Structure 1
Amino acid sequence: MDNQKASEEEKNNWHNDPNNWVWGMFYYNPEDKRMFPPKRIKEFGWTINFANPNSVFICVILILVLMVISESIK
């Protein structure tokens, strides 16, 4: 998929493919450019696409900010 957005059908196929879920809970799909795809059970919200470096970076920054805030409260 060069410079094209994936169709909803393709996104659903990626989501339903067990090979894109590490240990059944971590989503890892380099073809999927979404940073936050739906969780395995879509009603539970979103997860991180660990194959997308931007989503991992945002998650790390968020964790660091929360750690700094929690240390400043003590």
Structure 2
Amino acid sequence: MKSEKPTQEDYDNWHKDPKNWYLFNTCYYNPKDKRLLPPKKIQWMGYTINFANPYSVMLLLPFIIIVILVLLK
């Protein structure tokens, strides 16, 4: 089993692969990519969440709770 850190070429290939992008290229899902916040499809727009990373739920949950609390007020 390969335990080496992915190369920049690996990251670039994963980023270009359309199979890793969902919902009109807005959601990134790649279990091989361990980064929590990879660059968005259009890189100058910032970062997105890698939904294959188990920590993504911990990042999104507080945001969702805050949005719900604001909408309920």
When the two structures are superposed, what TM-score results if normalisation uses the length of structure 1? 0.80
Indicate if the aligned counterparts of 1:48 and 1:56 stay in contact, CA closer than 8 A: no
Tell me which residue corresponds to 1:16. Answer: 16
Gaps of 5+ in 1: none
Distance 1:41 1:3, change over 3 A: same
Q: Deviations over 1:36-59 (max 9, x none)?
A: 000000000000001111022211
Scaled by the length of structure 2, the TM-score of the pair is 0.81
Measured against aligned partners, the alpha-carbon deviations of 1:22-71 in whole angstroms (never above 9, x if no partner) come to: 1322101000000000000000000000111102221112332x247637
Matched-pair contact (CA < 8 Å) for 1:27–1:49: yes
Contact 1:39 1:45 in 2 (8 A): yes
Aligned mates of 1:67, 1:44 — CA distance in 2: 22
**Alignment partner of 1:7 is 2:7:** yes
Aligned position for 1:52: 53
Q: CA RMSD in A?
A: 2.1
Output the amino acid matched with 2:28. Answer: Y
Which residue of structure 2 lines up, in the alignment, with residue 36 of structure 1?
A: 37
Residue type matched to 1:33 in 2?
K
The separation in 2 between residues aligned to 1:37 and 1:5, in whole angstroms, is 15
Gaps of 5+ in 2: none
Identity %: 46
Structure (1 or 2) with the greater helix fraction: 1
